[in-house]
Structure 1
Amino acid sequence: MITLSGFLRCRTPEESQTVSHYLPEHQQLSRAEAGCLSFSVTQTADPLVWRVDESFTDNTAFALHQQRVAGSEWGRKTAGIVRDYKMSEGYDYG
Structure 2
Amino acid sequence: MNQSSTPDDKTGKVRLSGQLICTSLDEVDIVQKYLPEHIRLTRSEPGCLSFDVRQTEDPMIWDVEERFTDRLAFEAHQIRTKGSAWGAATSAIRREYEISADS
Q: Which residue of 2 aligns with 1:78?
A: 90
Q: Do residues 17 (structure 1) and 29 (structure 2) align?
A: yes
1:34-85 residue CA offsets vs partner (Å, 9 max, x unmatched): 0000000010000100000000000000000000000000000000000000
TM-score, with normalisation over the residues of structure 2? 0.87
Q: Distance in 1 between matches of 2:82 and 2:94?
A: 15
TM alignment of 1:29-44, pairs within 5 A: 29-44=41-56
SS at match of 1:86: strand
Match of 2:70 among 42, 55, 58: 58
Q: Unpaired segments of 5 or more residues in structure 2?
A: 1-12
Q: Unpaired segments of 5 or more residues in structure 1?
A: none
Q: Distance in 2 between matches of 1:72 and 1:26?
A: 8
Runs (4+) off by over 6 Å: none
2:46 aligned partner, one-letter code: A
1:87 aligned partner, one-letter code: I
Q: How many residues align?
A: 91
Q: Which residue of 1 aligns with 2:79?
A: 67
State percent identity of aligned pairs.
Answer: 49
TM-score, with normalisation over the residues of structure 1? 0.95
